[in-house]
Structure 1
């Protein structure tokens, strides 16, 4: 093989390595200033503005596995009270939601709720507000940390301050999804009002 043939082989190997590097290593200019959070990366955010009552805005974060995390949107009326949220009570309706436990792969003991079923009551120094499911499905878990640490709603409502986790049936999710807003639609709506 001549020197000319060797240099062509080296050039094509170098080009392949550069192409592979471009595919594997992102261009620093294409990266966001802050990386996405685990919630942003793993969930699709939906919003239910004015759910049953004006100002009762809630979020529904849906994971690819179908689970929905329910919580208070940043524009919920409870956050407008000066002292913020001071208490969370899961004893609503006929049962205390914080006492039930779901077990096993088949989610034994999961309670099936309608979208308007009360999950809990959040209290401020002046008022109390009922937080509802927003999504028809099986209640798998409530965030009982909020009983002792209601302040999590004031500081981190979109993460540690979530209210509950619900598993809707696929058909029920498709029905409710059309009534929910995307993050962009929700922001536009709230900025306009």
Structure 2
């Protein structure tokens, strides 16, 4: 399935001509990078849609992207203690949902057995159908809506939440056949899903999220509490 995800108009870095850049999300990451490097020219635009983490806070600085680049925001203790998420928000409101490095699923010794997008008896995220620029047919998510359930070989099961209120643009179906990429490349090919907040809510939905510095403070507090 080809999913229309992103369009951006500016002068191409290669030809100098104005062009509408259209990217289909199911293209290989390397091809997407090549297209953006030639047409958009800035690292935030080149990497945002495949989920690269940027090391700074809400202004996007630190990667040379400026204020219109992707921003890495974090959320701690979602649903259960230490179940943390990293939300990559781009300037066009698109949010890529990934697991933060401290999430239990990403810890050493964990092996993912199965990833299931069937969240209830009557609802599967794989049945999400999006069409047109208005994104008709997209499933609407609340912040705590389940995206999938991850079962590990040690018997533990983790419910992965949306974290963002908005429309579900897509889930990462590649995880079904290769769940290991979630652990190997959690912030790029191992992303969970893509969510688009409503325009009028795009700033509100991220107000409760944390900058990298704020999140590191939480990690330090956890470390001190356990010692």
TM class by shorter chain equals: 0.7 to 0.9
* Partner in structure 1 of residue 207 of structure 2: 178
Which protein is richer in helix relative to its size? 1
Q: 1:137 aligns with which of 154, 157, 166?
A: 166
Q: 1:136 touches 1:173 (CA, 8 Å); kept in 2?
A: no
Root-mean-square deviation (CA, aligned residues, Å) is: 1.8
* Partner in structure 2 of residue 25 of structure 1: none
- Deviation of 1:191 after TM superposition, in Å, equals 2.8
Normalization by structure 1: what TM-score? 0.76
Matched, 1:116 2:171: no
Q: How far apart in 1 are the matches of 2:87 and 2:110?
A: 25
Write out per-residue CA displacement over residues 129-170 of structure 1, whole angstroms, 9 at most, x where no aligned residue: 000010100001000100111001110001110000000013
Q: How far apart in 2 are the matches of 1:171 and 1:49?
A: 25
Q: How far apart in 1 are the matches of 2:200 and 2:136?
A: 21
- Deviation of 1:81 after TM superposition, in Å, equals 5.8
Rg comparison, structure with higher value: 1
- Deviation of 1:102 after TM superposition, in Å, equals 1.1
User: Any idea what SS the aligned residue of 2:201 has?
Assistant: helix
After TM superposition, list the pairs within 5 Å mapping 1:88-127 onto structure 2.
Answer: 88-93=115-120, 94-126=122-154, 127=156
Normalization by structure 2: what TM-score? 0.65
User: Any idea what SS the aligned residue of 1:181 has?
Assistant: coil
* Partner in structure 2 of residue 86 of structure 1: 113
User: Any idea what SS the aligned residue of 2:169 has?
Assistant: strand
Number of aligned positions between the proteins: 159
Q: How far apart in 2 are the matches of 1:105 and 1:164?
A: 18
Gaps of 5+ in 2: 1-42, 55-64, 223-227
**Stretches of 4+ aligned residues off by more than 6 angstroms:** none
Q: How far apart in 1 are the matches of 2:150 and 2:219?
A: 22
Q: How far apart in 1 are the matches of 2:114 and 2:149?
A: 8
